[in-house]
Amino acid sequence: MNRYPKLRVGEMVEVRSKEEILRTLDKNGQLDGLPFMPQMFQYCGRRLRVHKRAHKTCDTVNDFKGRRMKDAVHLESVRCDGAAYSGCQAGCLIHWKVAWLKRPSDPELKPERDRGCAEADVQAGTQKAGTQNDAGGPTYVCQATQIPAATEPLNWWEMGQYVEDYTSGNTSLGKLLRGFIYMGYRWFINLGIGLGAPLRWLYDTFQKLYGGVPYPRRPGRIPLGGATPTASLNLQPGDLVRVKSYDTIRDTIDEGNRNRGLYFDAEMVPYCGETRRVLTRVTRIVDEKTGKIREFKNPCIILEGGICQSRYSECRLFCPRSIYAYWREVWLERVPESDGTK
């Protein structure tokens, strides 16, 4: 029997005290393979709303497929600040084990046993032992690098996940239905029976009539191996920009949908044509695959609210992780302040 409550979207919860949380952690500062990161201590005692139930997530370490996670949620607007990870700017939405939270009206829920973790262990757990003096810098351990260890495989055809998407409040019934319709349409297009082009045209025509998003999985127009264009707008946080049209962006990416190595994902297509503010200019992140700091040769841009909504990703449909999309400046254009925000 699960001893933790099934929290729903919108519920108010309180982050437990530092002492209570430490009693749930092993000597590596982890619970069920998921690290409690040092920057999470600042939220102890605070009341926050549940943003999404994190019953599943996506594996950005290996294959970008879905993974099942037990007893976890995301809280509204609580993202990693990268302070314990050499200033990583990825801004990942933090996973919270339900053991670290309580409803304000709930009685105290004592951990089954004290696992002997101290705050210093949590700090030490941010780096893999013995890597501090590596030439490439320490190997970091964070929630993103630990996704495979903290989760189990989840096949896209397991229908229970979609039931929980709806019952938890993560996704509306309408979004579920639209997602299934899109996936069925995409499957039919990929049958290879020569109907791809007319079916994509039909999709675009229908979406245009109802103000929807064009078919989001088309290749770029630059041959593989060809040079992709660049632009330097020197964008800074707070700047107002408009995302160029999908058709225009396809002129800047190769047939593998990349511009100088950066992938333009189908989940970014819904933002085309929108006006948004720059949130961050990204120059360094923790590479989830290696745990090493990765310096960007060409800075990328994160836009306010520009997240992956997992509407077009068949192996991780409706993943609640809400990863920020990275934008090349060539995909954006400045707009005057008089245009206002989106």
Asked if residue 3 belongs to a domain, the reply is no
Q: Number of structural domains, the chain? A: 3
* CA–CA distance, 2 with 6 (Å, rounded to integer): 9
One domain for residues 149 and 30 = yes
Residue 14's CB is within 10 A of a number of other CB atoms, namely 17
List C-alpha distances in Å: 9 to 13, 22, 170.
11, 26, 6
pLDDT of residue 340: 61
Asked if residue 4 belongs to a domain, the reply is no
Asked if residue 282 belongs to a domain, the reply is yes
Asked if residue 162 belongs to a domain, the reply is no
**Which of these three, 215, 233, 251, is where a domain ends?**
215
CA-closest candidate to residue 57, choices 270, 315, 291: 315
List, for residues 102-146, the tens digit of each pLDDT value. Answer: 998 877 666 566 678 999 999 999 999 999 888 889 999 999 999
Asked if residue 2 belongs to a domain, the reply is no
234 backbone dihedrals φ, ψ, rounded to 5°: 50, 45
Are 75 and 186 spatial neighbours (Cβ–Cβ below 8 Å)?
no
Structure tokens at 86: 């050499």
One domain for residues 30 and 139 = yes
One domain for residues 97 and 182 = no
One domain for residues 60 and 83 = yes
List, for residues 21-73, the tens digit of each pLDDT value. Answer: 999 999 999 999 999 999 999 999 999 999 999 999 999 999 889 999 999 99
One domain for residues 27 and 79 = yes
Are 256 and 250 spatial neighbours (Cβ–Cβ below 8 Å)?
no
Please list the ranges in the chain whose pLDDT falls under 70: 1-3, 108-114, 340-342
Are 70 and 98 spatial neighbours (Cβ–Cβ below 8 Å)?
no
One domain for residues 76 and 194 = no
Are 284 and 86 spatial neighbours (Cβ–Cβ below 8 Å)?
yes
If you count them, how many residues does the chain have? Answer: 342
pLDDT of residue 1: 42
One domain for residues 237 and 340 = yes
One domain for residues 30 and 148 = yes
One domain for residues 190 and 280 = no
One domain for residues 93 and 58 = yes
Range of the structural domain that residue 184 is part of = 171-215
One domain for residues 38 and 126 = yes
pLDDT of residue 109: 60
pLDDT of residue 191: 81
Which residue type is seen at 82?
A: G
* CA–CA distance, 206 with 208 (Å, rounded to integer): 5
CA-closest candidate to residue 70, choices 152, 127, 192: 152
Q: Where residue 326 sits, what CATH number does that domain have?
A: 2.30.30
Asked if residue 163 belongs to a domain, the reply is no
pLDDT of residue 342: 46
Asked if residue 160 belongs to a domain, the reply is no
One domain for residues 143 and 18 = yes
Which residue type is seen at 201?
A: W
Asked if residue 165 belongs to a domain, the reply is no
